[in-house]
Amino acid sequence: MDTKFVLDLPNEKTANFGFMWNMLRNPLEALTHLAQDQGDIARVKLRKRDLFLLSHPDFIEQVLVKQQNNFIKGQSLQRARIILGDGLLTSEGNEHRAHRHMLQPAFYHQRVEEYLPIMNENTSRQMSPWRDGASIDMSDEMMRLTLNIALWSFFGNAPEGAVERVNKSMGTLTKLFPLTQLPVPDVLRRLLPGFKKANADLREVTESLSKNPRSEKAKNALIHILKENCEAQFTNEQIHAHTLTFLLAGHETTALLLTWCLDMLAHHPQVQAKLQGEVDHVLGDRFPHEEDLQNLPYTRTIIKETLRLRPPAWAIGRQAVQDCEIGGQHIAAGSTVLVSQWVTHHDARFYENPHQFRPARWYEIENIAFPRYAYFPFGGGNRVCIGEHFAMTEAMAGLAMMSRRWSFMPVQEAPAKPSPSITLRPNKNVKLIIGRRAV
Ligand code: HEM
C-alpha cells in the first residue's frame, strides 16, 4: 500500500495558528486538509509541543496497538475527568487495566446475547406510537431508545425521569465541553453556568441506579459487578464514574450510528429496498434471535458503511510518554498524536469514491488484502471500545426490526451534514417520514 511520506515538512518552523483556528472552526476540514497537504505524517508546531496527525493504517496501528504502552490519553480526555471522573474512558495505567479486567465479563459475547431480548423489547416499545405518514425526529428517538437499552441492560431498571434527565444534562455538558477544555483550574471550570446542575442531575441518576433493586434480567450485568466489588475494589466515587461512563459512552454513539444509518437509507431507496428484502426473508414475523444476526450480511454492511462514512468517534488523541519513532518520524515525549477515523475512512487509497454511501463495497473488501487500520470506528489495542459487540448487536437488531415494519423517507433533500463535537452529530436533528410497510 502506498504511503504519502512528507518528512521534510514545509511549515515545520511556523507556529501554526492558522491550523488551530481552522480546528476550532471546522475540525473535519482542518484535519482533512492537513493530511492532504502534508501526507501520512503531518506535523503542526505548536507553542510548547508538536502535534502529529498520523493517517496511514500502519502508523495508526503503531499508536493504538504496537506502541500502545508509550501513549496515554490526550489532554482533552484528561480534562473530561471533571465530568466523567475516573471511569474506564479516562483512567490510565494499572488502574485502567485492573478495572477493565473486572468490568469485561459484562461484555462477554454470551452476555451480550442475553441483552438481545432487552434491546428487542425496547425497540418494539419505541416504535409502538409511530403512525403511518408521521414525521419523526429520529435523533431524539434514537437517543431515547439507546439510553433505555443501556439503562435496562446494564442496570436492570430505568428510574422515573432518568431518560429526560440524562438527555438534558448531556445536552448541557456537550455544549459546555469546549469550555471545560480551557487550561484553567478545575474550580473555575466548575463555575460554568449549567455545569453544576447537569452534574448534580447525573449524580442523582447514578445514585438511584445503584440503590434501586435491580431486576432479575440484569443479575449478571454491570451493576452486579460494580456492587459485588464495592468496598473490596471500587469506592463510591468510582462506582459513580463507571456508571456515568457506561451511560454516556454507551448510548450516544450508538444512537448516532442508528440516526445516520436511517438518514442514509432514506436517501438511498435502493439500499433500503435490498435491506427490507433481507430482513423480511430472515426474520419473518419475529424478533431477531442471536443466530439471525449472522444471517443478515447486507444489514451488517449497512452498519459498517455508516460507521465508515459517519464515524461517531471521529478522532482519537494520545500523548507520547517517551520519545519514539513512527514511520521514520521522531516523536518527542509530550507530543500530541491524533489519528482520525474521519480522515482515514475517507481516504481514496483505501475506498473507491470514498464519499459515496455504498454498503456493497464491504463484500469487495473481504476479497482483497485490506490494511486492518484503514477502518477503526471502535479504536484498537488496549483501549479498544469495550462496548463494540454490544453496539453492533444493538444496531443490527434495531435496524432489522425497524426496517421490517417501516420505510423511511427523507424530509430534507440531502442527508444531514456532520457536525463534530465530542462525537460526530448531525448538524440538525434528523427528521424522517415513516411509512408502514405491508407485511
Ligand atoms: C457505535 C457505537 C460506538 C462507537 C463508535 C464507539 C467508539 C469508541 C472508541 C473509538 C473508543 C476508543 C477511544 C480511545 O481509544 O481513546 C471507545 C472506547 C470506549 N467505549 Fe465505545 N463506542 C461505541 C459504543 C459503546 C458502547 C455501547 C459502550 C458501553 C456499553 C461503550 C463504552 C466505551 C468505553 C467504556 C470505552 C473506554 C474503553 C477503555 O478505555 O478501556 N462504547 N468507544
Of 349 and 212, the structure prediction assigns the larger pLDDT to 349
Whole-angstrom distance, CA of residue 228 vs CA of residue 74: 32
Torsions phi, psi of 287, nearest 5?
-70, 150
Ligand 1 atom closest to 73 (CA) = 16
Alpha carbon of 286 to ligand 1 centroid (Å): 30
Mutual angle of helices 388-405 and 297-309, in 10-degree steps: 110
Q: Inform me whether the pLDDT recorded for 222 exceeds 80.
A: no
Q: Count up the domains in the chain and report the number.
A: 1
Length of the chain: 439
Alpha carbon of 111 to ligand 1 centroid (Å): 17
With a 6 Å cutoff on the Cβ, whether 246 touches ligand 1 is: yes
Ligand 1 atom closest to 245 (CA) = 35
- Position 430 in a domain: yes
- Position 7 in a domain: no
- Closest-CA residue, ligand 1 atom 39, reads 383
Q: Inform me whether the pLDDT recorded for 63 exceeds 60.
A: yes
With a 6 Å cutoff on the Cβ, whether 74 touches ligand 1 is: no
Whole-angstrom distance, CA of residue 40 vs CA of residue 55: 5
Please, are residues 326 and 59 in contact by the beta-carbon 8 Å criterion?
A: yes
The DSSP bridge partners found for residue 52 are: 43, 337
- Position 277 in a domain: yes
Q: Inform me whether the pLDDT recorded for 14 exceeds 70.
A: no
Ligand 1 atom closest to 316 (CA) = 16
Model pLDDT for residues 234-261, shown as the tens digit of each residue? 787 888 888 888 888 889 999 999 999 9
Alpha carbon of 378 to ligand 1 centroid (Å): 6
Of 10 and 294, the structure prediction assigns the larger pLDDT to 294
The set of residues, in sequence order, having a beta carbon less than 8 Å from that of 46 and lying 6+ positions away, is 15, 16, 20, 336
Q: What pLDDT is stored for residue 125 in this prediction? A: 96
Distance between alpha carbon 30 and the CA centroid of its chain, in Å?
Answer: 21
With a 6 Å cutoff on the Cβ, whether 385 touches ligand 1 is: yes
Please, are residues 245 and 84 in contact by the beta-carbon 8 Å criterion?
A: yes
Ligand 1 atom closest to 312 (CA) = 5
Q: Inform me whether the pLDDT recorded for 10 exceeds 50.
A: no
Mutual angle of helices 236-267 and 297-309, in 10-degree steps: 100
Of 298 and 366, the structure prediction assigns the larger pLDDT to 298
DSSP string, 132-193: TT-EEEHHHHHHHHHHHHHIIIIIS---TTHHHHHHHHHHHHHHHHHHHTSSS-HHHHTTST
Whole-model pTM above 0.75?
A: yes
The DSSP bridge partners found for residue 136 are: 432
With a 6 Å cutoff on the Cβ, whether 258 touches ligand 1 is: no
Alpha carbon of 243 to ligand 1 centroid (Å): 14
Model pLDDT for residues 284-342, shown as the tens digit of each residue? 989 999 999 999 999 999 999 999 999 999 999 999 999 999 999 999 999 999 999 99
Q: What pLDDT is stored for residue 215 in this prediction? A: 55
- Position 387 in a domain: yes
Alpha carbon of 103 to ligand 1 centroid (Å): 13
Q: What pLDDT is stored for residue 120 in this prediction? A: 97
Whole-angstrom distance, CA of residue 214 vs CA of residue 237: 20
Taking residues 160-172, report their average pLDDT. 84
- Position 423 in a domain: yes
Mean pLDDT of the chain: 88
Q: Inform me whether the pLDDT recorded for 7 exceeds 70.
A: no
Q: 224: domain range?
A: 17-436
Model pLDDT for residues 31-48, shown as the tens digit of each residue? 999 999 999 999 998 877
The DSSP bridge partners found for residue 406 are: 436
Give the SS3 label for residue 355.
Answer: coil
- Position 267 in a domain: yes
- Of the residues 94, 247, 385, which should be mutated to test ligand 1's pocket, given the most ligand atoms within 8 Å of the CB? 385
Q: Inform me whether the pLDDT recorded for 3 exceeds 70.
A: no
Give the model's confidence band at 8: pLDDT under 50 very low, under 70 low, under 90 confident, else very high: very low
Ligand 1 atom closest to 379 (CA) = 10
The CA distances from residue 258 to 52, 177, 255, 375, 422, in Å, are 32, 23, 5, 18, 17
- For position 190, which CATH number holds? 1.10.630.10
Q: What is the DSSP letter of 109?
A: H
Give the model's confidence band at 193: pLDDT under 50 very low, under 70 low, under 90 confident, else very high: confident
Q: Inform me whether the pLDDT recorded for 151 exceeds 70.
A: yes
Whole-angstrom distance, CA of residue 189 vs CA of residue 83: 10
Whole-angstrom distance, CA of residue 186 vs CA of residue 274: 52
Whole-angstrom distance, CA of residue 115 vs CA of residue 181: 35
- Position 12 in a domain: no
Q: What pLDDT is stored for residue 46 in this prediction? A: 81
Whole-angstrom distance, CA of residue 149 vs CA of residue 154: 8
Alpha carbon of 312 to ligand 1 centroid (Å): 10
With a 6 Å cutoff on the Cβ, whether 250 touches ligand 1 is: yes
Alpha carbon of 331 to ligand 1 centroid (Å): 26
Alpha carbon of 222 to ligand 1 centroid (Å): 15
Q: Inform me whether the pLDDT recorded for 367 exceeds 80.
A: yes
Q: What pLDDT is stored for residue 111 in this prediction? A: 81
Give the model's confidence band at 439: pLDDT under 50 very low, under 70 low, under 90 confident, else very high: confident
- Position 8 in a domain: no
Give the model's confidence band at 9: pLDDT under 50 very low, under 70 low, under 90 confident, else very high: very low
Give the SS3 label for residue 325.
Answer: strand
Alpha carbon of 213 to ligand 1 centroid (Å): 27
With a 6 Å cutoff on the Cβ, whether 254 touches ligand 1 is: yes
